[in-house]
Amino acid sequence: MTPESESFATLVICSFDRRDSLDETLDSVADQRSAAPWDVLVVDNNSSDGTAEAVAQRAAGFPVPLRVIREERQGRSHALNRAIDATSSEVLIFTDDDVDLRPGFVAAHCAAYEDAAVAGAGGRILPVMPDNTPPWMRALAEEANGGLTGRYDWGDEVCRVEVDGDIHLPYGANMSLRRRVAREFGGFRPDLGWGKSFVPGEENELFGRVRSGGGSVVYRPDAVALHRFQPDKATLEYFLRYELGYGRAQVLIAELGRRERLRWVLRNALGLAVHSARAGLPTRELALRIEPLRHRARSLGRLAQLLGC
């Protein structure tokens, strides 16, 4: 059963032990305005830092309905699926507990669904890098979409995310779905998503199924989230951990048959050897080694997943 709701949209924030960061995010949520009625749902994913109590204290004075529920199964996908079952709003808007939403964020997502054909939407994500960010990572954040920093910026025009187009599927810090669509397609896969497994891709996998099933997905540049990149992630070690998980996710999403798995094993064993050699070339510039290090980590992740390691 889902609670009765008069809201057209629910803004969902999943959080694990980031009470202070979540509080900062809620400050930017409180400044949002939309003609369509909306509310806010925080999913406390088994936090131990007083997250639920802090949200409950803000609820009475919040400008729109704000509530918190708990999901004890660890992992982002479990938390996202809990949100799908815990609201009856037409549209679910998802963001993270380490972002600041620019004015117009909620209104832009709501506007996307004025077109009855739209099943989902994604908005612009701009990373805000900490002072300790190494130059090679700052360059990635400023130049490339996707990856660890989660940049998602495809220009200033509203457009459809085409099956064979250049625009990636939406990212988790700034995306929305019709709730009935999320339920129809079975929600987010729990073997993907941040959590114990540290394997990304739960949002791309679900949006991929929605789009393959004929659902229209749009890019809304006027829905802007500033991603406050955490200082403890601005390291080479965290970057390589992410890329290894990315490789694992590629195997899980591909759902390979026996022959194709064998081809992937051979291809990635060769790739691991080649990229390891390239990453080991002597150079004083780490920036010149980042791409082979990235590909080595992804090859290792794919190979480990294929072999059940």
| Alpha helix stretches (DSSP H) within the chain | 19-30, 51-59, 76-85, 105-112, 135-143, 179-184, 202-212, 236-254, 258-279, 290-306
Q: How far apart are CA 208 and CA 185, in angstroms?
A: 10
Structural contact between residues 117 and 178, judged by C-beta atoms closer than 8 angstroms: no
C-alpha span between 173 and 11 (Å, rounded): 11
Cross-strand pairs, 99: 227
Give 168's DSSP letter.
Answer: P
Look at residue 194 in the predicted model and tell me its pLDDT.
Answer: 78
The closest alpha carbon to 301, from 254, 247, 265, 226, belongs to 247
pLDDT at residue 283 greater than cutoff 80: no
How far apart are the C-alpha atoms of 300 and 243, rounded to whole Å?
9
Percent of the chain, pLDDT > 90? 86
Burial 8-20 (b: 16+ CB within 10 A, else e): bbbbbbbbbebbe
How far CA 164 is from CA of 147, 151, 181, 209, in Å, comes to: 20, 20, 22, 14
The overall average pLDDT reported for the chain is 93
- Answer yes or no: is pLDDT of 181 > 90: yes
Query: Which pairs from 201-205 meet CB under 8 Å and 24+ separation?
Result: 201/246, 201/249, 201/250, 201/252, 201/253, 202/76, 202/77, 202/80, 202/172, 203/94, 203/169, 203/170, 203/171, 203/172, 203/175, 204/168, 204/169, 204/171, 204/253, 205/249, 205/253
Could you read off the pLDDT of 182-222 as tens digits, one per residue? 999 999 999 998 776 789 999 999 999 999 999 999 999 99
- In the CATH scheme, what is the homologous superfamily, with its name and number, of domain 9-233? Spore Coat Polysaccharide Biosynthesis Protein SpsA; Chain A (3.90.550.10)
Q: Which residue from 299, 306, 309 is spatially nearest to 271, judged by alpha carbons?
A: 299
At CA 165, angle to CA 160 and CA 289, rounded to 5?
A: 125
pLDDT in tens, 64-98: 999 999 999 999 999 999 999 999 999 999 999 99
pLDDT digits (tens, 9 = 90+) for 34-59: 999 999 999 999 999 999 999 999 99
In the chain, where the domains are located: 9-233, 236-306
| pTM given for the model | 0.93
| Token reading at 42 | 């925080």
Indicate the pLDDT class of residue 2, thresholds 50, 70 and 90: very low
**Alpha helices, DSSP H only, in 134-289?**
135-143, 179-184, 202-212, 236-254, 258-279
Round to whole Å and give the CA distance between 141 and 148: 8
Two tokens, residue 95: 């963001």
What tens digit of pLDDT does each residue of 117-142 get? 999 999 999 999 999 899 999 988 88
